[in-house]
Amino acid sequence: MMNKPHFKKINNIPTLIVNDKPFLALAGELHNSSASSDRYMSANVWENINRMNVNTVVAPVYWEMIEEHEGEFDFSSVRSLIEQARQNNKKLILLWFGLWKNGLSTYIPKWMKKDQERYPFVRKSNGEKLYSVTPLCDEAIVQDSAAFRQLMRFLKAFDQEDQTVIMVQIENEVGTLGTDFDYSEEALQKVSEQVPEVVERFASKKGNWLECFGKDAKEYFMAYHYATAVDSIASIGKEEYALPFFVNAWLEKYPARPGDYPTGGPTARMAPFWEKVTTNIEAFAPDIYVPNFSEVCEQFLSFQDNLLIPETRQDIQTVANLFYGIAKYNINCYSPFGIEDFFKEESKQDQNVLVTLAIDASAFRYAGTGIPLSKAYEILSGMSPLILKYRGTDKMFPFMKEKESDRGMLYGLENCEAKITYQNFQDGKIKSSGFLIETGNNELYFVGVNASLTLKAGYGENYQVGVLSLEEGSFVDGIWQRGRILNGDERYYISVDNEPKVYRIEYHQY
Ligand code: N0T
């Protein structure tokens, strides 16, 4: 019997194990509604996804579809999604669109939407309702847990052997969007009460929410209620089938005030608190649309060691971030949003309200990204056995140009110095990014975009460094497949341009 998908440390880095082998999820997330129709998926989606060379599809499961009538479950939509994924040789990460999706409750079943006596909505400060069930409503959490239990039971029965489904995200970008707090009587009452013990320990203070958290009291209060709701849903799911679970976050943009982003969700600032008050969540995962990719990665790695990026940008910089995320931050999942549309010239998302909300509208622009991203995925998926073997060791050398003044990187290899030189920023070009892997015996691989590599002796050494051979090619299941041997005019520089590439290099001292 194979082990279930799980995380295991390799070179001290949590690594996803699927079908008993290390696995790197080179993924893409579907638009929200695609997976609700298998006919739509066959006609419009799978072909596009296959062109992208992803090995994993991030796809929603909708509560409103699986429990149309209270207590009656229908998993035919989930079953056909899994069957189609298998036919297309893809793994799946499922998103549980249950009680909360982008801070709202639009995916709860109709019978629940109509019963606001039993399932009350959050109140804004003016008394208006927000279309979002309050996390203080235990009965709603019980209902969500019951449906989630059925989902995990179904997955165990239908998929444990194949392991097409490798992880599950609980809810989607939870928090209150449009108000900073639930101004219901109940919440107003409870926020003035003593905080629970686990919160006391986190705050290292006793007292009520205001005494523990000052001006951030309302946000911590909401976070506590969302976190414990999500954690109890997760614990029920684990009882049935213990796949890795994660929770994603719509990040704060700066400057922002609570209410401008789903408030109470695991943003960079709040995720360490979520981490302390939950026990059934493997990772807190940022949806990175903001420009400061590295900073966000570092924030999320400051309190956990497992980084998943379940949603990210659509512009070409997503390719630069992909290489760097893999080599520098050891991410286990990378997943640009709207993966079925990457070969479309301009996106219909440009009319989306999110584009207006975003500080950086290009985050939602597909233009020109399809080809380089699919090329990068092709290289990285063939190469992933090598990546997973060398990451976390001192043989992996990442690079990315983050600002105009960054010129390059100098790394000391075993028997020479490797100097990486960046290209200048230019419109329509991917930022310089990539990595080297030194595999020993004076052999290395150079992967990336818009950078060049020089191998040379360190200052004061009494030898020089020569290139024995430079090969282009690709990896299949971690094994190098040589293409052209580059020499003469083609070896004048060792460089990659705007098209992602991988080279194998052998050198010597003379
Ligand atoms: C995403 C997607 C989908 C600070 C937007 C991104 C997905 C949801 N949210 O198309 O709806 O289901 O999780 C939020 C980006 C916020 C932009 C503000 C930048």
**What are the tens digits of pLDDT across the range 134-161?**
999 999 999 999 999 999 999 999 999 9
Same domain for 421 and 380, yes or no, is no
pLDDT tens-digit map of 87-97: 999 999 999 99
Q: Which of 193-197, 406-410, 459-463 has the lowest mean pLDDT?
A: 459-463
Distance of alpha carbon 365 from alpha carbon 157, whole angstroms: 40
| Residue 308 domain flag | yes
Distance of alpha carbon 289 from alpha carbon 206, whole angstroms: 37
Task: Please check whether residue 463 is in contact with residue 481, taking contact to mean a CB–CB distance below 8 angstroms.
Answer: no
Q: What is the band of 22 on the pLDDT scale with cuts at 50, 70, 90?
A: very high
Distance of alpha carbon 478 from alpha carbon 380, whole angstroms: 10
pLDDT above 60 (res 497): yes
Exposure string over 134-146, b if 16+ CB within 10 A, otherwise e: bbbbeebbebbbe
Give, using CA atoms, the residue closest to atom 12 of ligand 1.
32
Specify the DSSP element, H or E, that contains 167.
Answer: strand 165-172
| Residue 182 domain flag | yes
What is the Cα 213 distance to its own chain's centre?
Answer: 30
pLDDT above 70 (res 409): yes
Same domain for 208 and 343, yes or no, is yes
Q: What is the band of 399 on the pLDDT scale with cuts at 50, 70, 90?
A: very high
Distance of alpha carbon 110 from alpha carbon 378, whole angstroms: 42
Q: What are phi and psi of 334, to 5 degrees?
A: -135, 135
Same domain for 444 and 328, yes or no, is no
Give, using CA atoms, the residue closest to atom 18 of ligand 1.
358
Same domain for 333 and 298, yes or no, is yes
Residue ranges around ligand 1 (CB below 6 Å):
32, 102, 172-173, 250-251, 253, 287, 289-290, 311, 337, 354, 357-358
Closest CA to 423 of 368, 498, 363: 498
Residue 438: its pLDDT value, please? 98
Radius of gyration, CA atoms only, the chain? 24
Looking at residue 480, its amino acid is W
Residue 294: its pLDDT value, please? 98
Same domain for 420 and 333, yes or no, is no
| Pairing label, strands 165-172, 245-250 | parallel
| Residue 386 domain flag | yes
Centroid of ligand 1 to alpha carbon of 273 (angstroms): 22
Residue 492: its pLDDT value, please? 83
Same domain for 315 and 448, yes or no, is no
Distance of alpha carbon 124 from alpha carbon 130, whole angstroms: 7
User: Which single residue is written with the structure tokens 């194998």?
Assistant: 504
The mean pLDDT value for 420-425 works out to 98
Same domain for 23 and 54, yes or no, is yes
Centroid of ligand 1 to alpha carbon of 354 (angstroms): 7
Instruction: Count other Cβ atoms within 10 Å, centred on residue 116.
Output: 11
| Residue 342 domain flag | yes
Same domain for 370 and 405, yes or no, is no
Centroid of ligand 1 to alpha carbon of 398 (angstroms): 28
ipTM: 0.95
Of the residues 374, 390, 406, the one at which a domain ends:
390
Give, using CA atoms, the residue closest to atom 19 of ligand 1.
358
Same domain for 352 and 465, yes or no, is no
CA distances from 225 to 143, 200, 345, 499 (A): 16, 15, 42, 47
| Pairing label, strands 21-23, 13-18 | antiparallel
Same domain for 377 and 477, yes or no, is no
The mean pLDDT value for 448-464 works out to 96
Centroid of ligand 1 to alpha carbon of 319 (angstroms): 19
Same domain for 327 and 403, yes or no, is no
Closest CA to 320 of 209, 237, 403: 403
- Dig out the tokens for 3 from the structure: 């082990």
| Residue 116 domain flag | yes
Give, using CA atoms, the residue closest to atom 7 of ligand 1.
32
User: Which single residue is written with the structure tokens 């849903």?
Assistant: 233
Q: Which domain holds residue 356?
A: 6-390
Residue 349: its pLDDT value, please? 57
Best residue among 289, 312, 349, 360 to mutate for probing ligand 1's pocket (most ligand atoms within 8 Å of CB) is 289
3-state secondary structure of 281: coil
136 contacts: CB under 8 Å, gap ≥ 6: 182, 184, 186, 187, 190, 225
Of the residues 359, 390, 421, the one at which a domain ends:
390
Give, using CA atoms, the residue closest to atom 5 of ligand 1.
354
**CATH label of the domain that carries residue 226:** 3.20.20.80
Of the residues 372, 390, 408, the one at which a domain ends:
390
Same domain for 386 and 446, yes or no, is no
3-state secondary structure of 243: coil
| Residue 1 domain flag | no
Centroid of ligand 1 to alpha carbon of 219 (angstroms): 20
- Exposure on the CB side of residue 159, measured as CA atoms within 13 A: 30
Residue 126: its pLDDT value, please? 97
CA dihedral sign, ordered 346, 352, 357, 358: negative
Instruction: Count other Cβ atoms within 10 Å, centred on residue 60.
Output: 23
The mean pLDDT value for 424-447 works out to 97
pLDDT above 60 (res 499): yes
Could you tell me what percent of the chain has a pLDDT over 70? 98
- Dig out the tokens for 371 from the structure: 């080809």
pLDDT tens-digit map of 318-348: 999 999 999 999 999 999 999 999 987 655 5
Closest CA to 56 of 146, 151, 169: 169
Centroid of ligand 1 to alpha carbon of 194 (angstroms): 35
Give, using CA atoms, the residue closest to atom 17 of ligand 1.
358
The mean pLDDT value for 474-497 works out to 95
Q: What is the band of 360 on the pLDDT scale with cuts at 50, 70, 90?
A: confident
pLDDT above 60 (res 350): no
Exposure string over 209-244, b if 16+ CB within 10 A, otherwise e: bbebbeebbbbbbbbbbbbbbbbbbbebbeebbebb
pLDDT tens-digit map of 211-261: 999 999 999 999 999 999 999 999 999 999 999 999 999 999 877 899 999
Q: Which long-range contacts (CB under 8 A, 24 or more apart) does 81-89 make?
A: 81/35, 81/38, 81/41, 82/158, 82/159, 82/164, 82/165, 84/38, 84/41, 84/42, 84/46, 85/57, 85/59, 85/164, 86/162, 86/164, 88/46, 88/49, 88/50
| Residue 379 domain flag | yes
Mean pLDDT of the chain, nearest integer: 96
Residue 440: its pLDDT value, please? 93
Residue 406: its pLDDT value, please? 98
Total domain count for the chain? 2
Distance of alpha carbon 168 from alpha carbon 208, whole angstroms: 34
Centroid of ligand 1 to alpha carbon of 82 (angstroms): 25
**CATH label of the domain that carries residue 406:** 2.60.220.20
Q: Which of 37-41, 294-298, 361-365, 470-474 has the lowest mean pLDDT?
A: 361-365
pLDDT above 70 (res 494): yes
